[in-house]
Amino acid sequence: MAKKLAFNPYLPSWEYVPDAEPHVVDGRVYVYGSHDLFNGINFCLGDYVCWSAPVDDLGNWTYHGVIFKREQDPAAPKNRITNGLAAPDMVVGDDGRYYLYYFMGGTKMISVAVCDEPAGKYEFYGYVKYKDGTPIGKRNEPFQFDPGCLKDDDGRLYLYTGFAFGGNPILLDGSQPTKKGPMWFEIDTKDMLTVISGDELNYLGVLTGEEAKGTPYEEQPFGEASSMRKFNGKYYFIYSSLNSHNLCYAVSDKPTEGFEFGGILISCGDIGLPGVPDVKHAHMDTGNTHGSLIEINGKYYIFYHRHSNRKQSSRQACAEEIRFEDGKFYQAEMTSCGLNDGPLPGKGRIPSYCACNVYGKNGTKFLSMLKYPRGASPFLTQKGKDREEGPDQYISNFCTDCTVGFKYFDLSQTRKIRVHLQGYGKNCAVTIRTQEKGDVICRIPLDTCKKEQGFLGELPEGLGTKEALYFSVEGKGGTFDFLSFDLL
């Protein structure tokens, strides 16, 4: 059976699963993450869901449904809007069961649920606690948040937590952010709950705030999103820096100390890559990010999320292959082909929502929880309010002098392109380039069309096996919904 085509976002366009922690179990990669709602007023308003795919067919994702509901936690506050289920992680216990470590707003604790299957119905299990039974987070420690887990080769289990953003009074709920970076706890594998590393707080040495100044962490200090992975005998701590849009890493020979800053893994706006110096010049609207690394069949991938709908709380799961050489990871760029193991084929229909570059003539924004005005920028959205009513995402406000880019395609045998739009425009055209600031290779005249209509153009011969496609609107006053395009 042929593999399914993989592209970003790798889940259906109606699904919003950020903060992904991928884990391979019995030949499948399972993704555990938060669950946003389209146009949600806040982060993480949905119950936990799980998706998985065969490791040799990373475009073929299966939905396993809701695996844990918020109300199953006895400490769940009544107010769901400000107290959602945040980023979880999963680890397999000595008993062969699957333990989900998670944080719920309003509790200050790290909770645990358990299941006999990786994507079954999890049951509430308990709270991570000190030996005297006090849950961690209940001794006025720095804020516990975004748990990451590592069960080492020697069987020892470590939990990593922390939150260094001091300007979030709703989330902090009276707690203090960490001023010394992420914390770590060793957990007793007999019960998967009890801290055995002592009553004193232990810090990983990944620096933040004032302590980061004058060190290699100064430009990318720890913010949140703790995740730990082990490759070739070394420990890689993945985190979101205080600038929020970058996933970074630190590396050590030990799981609890000696970490040295490694670099940026990915930015959710490609910030830091050549020609992208800051948020305004980002390739997409930016916000927070969270994810992790995984090795699959000898290749390494970084899982992260992007933002849609002109606000931070409609986040979608993406992944990229990442270069890993001599123990070092190199920043990956955002692409449309993601997990596809190479460029997308130059034949067939491509939905516009797999664009990896979306920005207007005035650049991009770092998003807030409130939608910014439509203005002169294109943006990802959907027609319905939820997955049942609006299953297909698209790009709205595709307007004059904007840019919508897709990477990458094998266009060596592609001769024509048909762009599917609906909207308004007089004396307008779609222009297509293979480089962001390059020459126009195709110009397609447009007409006003109140319903979806395809507009056909010809591509030149001599295009390569790894090409980008950048679409823009030429002419005053053109404003369209960009739905899809066909490569012929």
3-class DSSP assignment, residue 210: helix
Q: Single out the residue in 322, 340, 358 at which a domain terminates.
A: 340
Q: Is residue 1 in some structural domain?
A: no
Task: Report pLDDT for 275.
Answer: 94
CATH number, domain with residue 428 = 2.60.120.260
Q: CA 370 to CA 388: how far, in whole Å?
A: 24
Q: CA 252 to CA 317: how far, in whole Å?
A: 28
Task: Report pLDDT for 305.
Answer: 98
pLDDT tens, per residue, the chain with 488 residues? 678 999 999 999 999 999 999 999 999 999 999 999 999 999 999 999 999 999 999 999 999 999 999 999 999 999 999 899 999 999 999 999 999 999 999 999 999 999 999 999 999 999 999 999 999 999 999 999 999 999 999 999 999 999 999 987 767 888 999 999 999 999 999 999 999 998 899 999 999 999 999 999 999 999 999 999 999 999 999 999 999 999 999 999 999 999 999 999 999 999 999 999 999 999 999 999 999 999 999 999 999 999 999 999 999 999 999 999 999 999 999 999 999 999 999 999 999 999 999 999 999 999 999 999 988 899 999 988 776 666 689 999 999 999 999 999 999 999 999 999 999 988 999 999 999 999 999 999 999 999 999 999 999 999 999 999 999 999 988 899 999 999 99
Cα dihedral 473, 475, 481, 484 in deg (nearest 10): -40
Q: Is residue 349 in some structural domain?
A: yes
Of the candidates 15, 19, 333, 410, the residue annotated as catalytic is 19
Number of compact structural domains in the chain: 2
Q: Which domain holds residue 172?
A: 21-340
Same domain? 168 vs 286: yes
Of the candidates 89, 146, 224, 321, the residue annotated as catalytic is 224
Task: Report pLDDT for 391.
Answer: 65
Q: Single out the residue in 340, 368, 387 at which a domain terminates.
A: 340
Return the closest-CA partner of residue 316 out of 58, 39, 64, 17: 17
Q: Is residue 274 in some structural domain?
A: yes
Which residue's structure tokens are 């090409």?
467
Q: How far is CA 146 from CA 90, 107, 135, in A?
A: 12, 13, 16
Same domain? 177 vs 79: yes
Same domain? 331 vs 352: no
Q: Is residue 12 in some structural domain?
A: no
Task: Report pLDDT for 1.
Answer: 67
Same domain? 401 vs 440: yes
Same domain? 421 vs 328: no
Q: Single out the residue in 319, 340, 361 at which a domain terminates.
A: 340
Q: Is residue 13 in some structural domain?
A: no
Interacting residues of 269 by C-beta distance below 8 A, sequence separation 6+: 245, 276, 279, 282, 283, 284, 285, 286, 334, 364
Same domain? 139 vs 275: yes
Q: Is residue 7 in some structural domain?
A: no
Burial-class residue 44 by CB neighbours within 10 Å (0-12, 13-18, 19+).
Answer: buried
End-to-end CA distance of the chain: 24
Q: Is 224 a catalytic residue?
A: yes
Task: Report pLDDT for 77.
Answer: 94
**Strands (DSSP E) found in 269-392:** 292-296, 299-307, 315-321, 323-325, 328-330, 344-345, 348-351, 357-359, 379-382
Return the closest-CA partner of residue 74 out of 98, 116, 42, 107: 107
Same domain? 379 vs 414: yes
3-class DSSP assignment, residue 55: coil
Give 105's DSSP letter.
T
